[in-house]
Structure 1
């Protein structure tokens, strides 16, 4: 019976005492966490809610939380989760993100949002992949934190070219009119968290955040697995 319920680390395959964690403490320590700006995620020597980068190009959201840099072994896990149809990694990655949220709450006063919103995929891309990785993460976090997950509030209505390799300006142009928020008035939440996988320039998140501001959302957090 004990062999049947044996759990292994998703990275190094070593035995786990707590199977729900999905990843051993040794592999967790190898993830490149860093001190970052609470606004844009830029590396800093000490935490600040805003940095010089934010003042030059202020993001449309208020706070950011990430697990760490987009580097191995975290990048390898995300790649498997996102491109190799290993959707069952959602729980392991969601738990790592939850720990990052708790750490931000403990170390610099992050408050929990009233709702969680996953960044959407264009419907054809989601059909190809079989799932929206951000939605899988958001639903698990919603259940653990007992915060509503609004999966269908934001829709991606424009098929855009991949953002990889584009300049910040090209990314913004590529995403123009790509999203709509399916809520006209009376939006009941003043604070939300947008959940995404990898955050690069933040162009996608900015486009969504701007529309949420028009609904009267006062605080927008961004929760991501990694910052590239």
Structure 2
């Protein structure tokens, strides 16, 4: 616990008084966050994605081929970036190397992205946030759930409660890395259980995670929540993979 508190203090101190950009190590240009304006503009922003699953697609297209054939059970996915350099590096360091300042920086920028969509494009924010849960074994191995941390960072500025105990992962699944879309879907079958149905019934919810790949995990979780009475389920993620990443073994 003491180690965790020290990490949290480090994150907040660095964000409140940034002395350099996390990416180029230059001055942050009096920015409130540890990223300079140049690096922020150069991030791989997701400028055009499928209107349902956010898969990067060509300008002028509305839906990806997969959603034209079969829609995901979640209503809509919102992702700030393509899963490309340097966002993939920042996410990887946050997820596997305890680089919490990197995760907090991306979360703060995602908040700004969602707020912009709300003000300029009429985004209807979800009533509550649900972080994608980790299996207890993987949580013990890693020591923290990065999706829960992102949800907690989003919750207060967006004024949305985080329902971190509403759903539990009840079946240990193999890691999704290296699996194709069909294997990922089978891997997530019956993986989740709603523990507190009264928290989800009739509500518009948003699943929170770091990266949306095939959508198999969020699809399985969305089906579980909808079956428990949720009115609508969206997805808020930092980044979205593209076709090239989906084809990699």
Q: TM-score, normalised by structure 1?
A: 0.90
3-state SS, counterpart of residue 207 of structure 2: strand
RMSD, aligned α-carbons: 1.9
Within the candidate set 45, 48, 54, 2:59 is matched to: 45
Q: What does residue 100 of structure 1 align with?
A: 113
TM-aligned CA deviation for residue 209 of structure 1: 0.2
Flag the 1:6–1:220 CA change in 2: closer, same or farther, 3 A.
closer
Within the candidate set 169, 173, 180, 2:186 is matched to: 173
| Aligned-partner Cα distance in 1 for 2:187–2:103 | 28
TM-aligned CA deviation for residue 102 of structure 1: 2.1
Are residue 210 (structure 1) and residue 223 (structure 2) matched?
yes
1:111-190 equivalences in 2 (<5 Å): 111-185=124-198, 187=200, 189-190=202-203
| Aligned-partner Cα distance in 2 for 1:36–1:173 | 25
| Aligned-partner Cα distance in 1 for 2:154–2:137 | 25
Q: What does residue 21 of structure 2 align with?
A: 9
TM-aligned CA deviation for residue 202 of structure 1: 0.2
Are residue 69 (structure 1) and residue 47 (structure 2) matched?
no
Number of residue pairs aligned between Structure 1 and Structure 2 = 223
Asked whether the 8 Å contact 2:200–2:225 carries over to 1, the reply is no
Segment drifting more, 169-178 vs 51-60: 51-60
Q: What does residue 225 of structure 1 align with?
A: 238
| Aligned-partner Cα distance in 1 for 2:30–2:135 | 36
| Aligned-partner Cα distance in 2 for 1:173–1:62 | 21
| Aligned-partner Cα distance in 2 for 1:153–1:47 | 36
Question: What are the superposed Cα offsets for residues 98-155 of structure 1, whole Å, 9 maximum, x if unpaired?
Answer: 1221233244321111101100111121121111001001001101111100011111
| Aligned-partner Cα distance in 2 for 1:201–1:181 | 22
List gaps (5 residues or longer) in structure 2: 1-16, 242-249
The structure richer in helix per residue is: 2
List gaps (5 residues or longer) in structure 1: none
| Aligned-partner Cα distance in 2 for 1:100–1:66 | 9
TM-aligned CA deviation for residue 91 of structure 1: 1.9
